[in-house]
Amino acid sequence: MSKIVLTVDDSRTMRDMLRMALVAAGYTVVQAEDGVHGLEVLAGSNPDVIITDINMPRMDGFGFIQNVRGGEEKHRALPILVLSTESDDAKKQRARAAGATGWIVKPFDPVKLVDAVRRVAA
């Protein structure tokens, strides 16, 4: 059975790129358009890994990560990778403090993305 990845990004193009890279590597992908939608999708699915953007409307990635970590027990230890155009250390530290597992800078290399997902989903 393939592992499930939840991607949370407000860009349709980015969601499509993530889906292509992950499906080609054998993952099942569920998607959300922002943090609020991500929490709704998470409630109805059981992903093995989450990939989230930071800059999104309604609820940003930091708020999303904090909600996942403070939410249902079964989701508290889920690996969460941040995928963002942001790369400054303060934002990375803030994401780690919220509970992020790792950070990938956009634009992403599909091979490196899949490698990162494999590392945290093991």
Please provide residue 50's backbone torsions phi and psi, each rounded to the nearest 5 degrees: -120, 135
pLDDT tens digits, the chain, 122 residues: what are they? 789 999 999 999 999 999 999 999 999 999 999 999 999 999 999 999 999 999 999 999 999 999 999 988 989 899 999 999 988 999 999 999 999 999 999 999 999 999 999 999 87
CATH of the domain at 11: 3.40.50.2300
**Which range of residues forms the domain containing residue 14?**
4-121
Q: Structurally, how many domains does the chain consist of? A: 1
Question: What's this model's pTM, rounded to 2 decimal places?
Answer: 0.96
Give residue for tokens 């569920």. 30
Residues 6+ apart with CB under 8 A from 120: 49, 79, 81, 101, 102
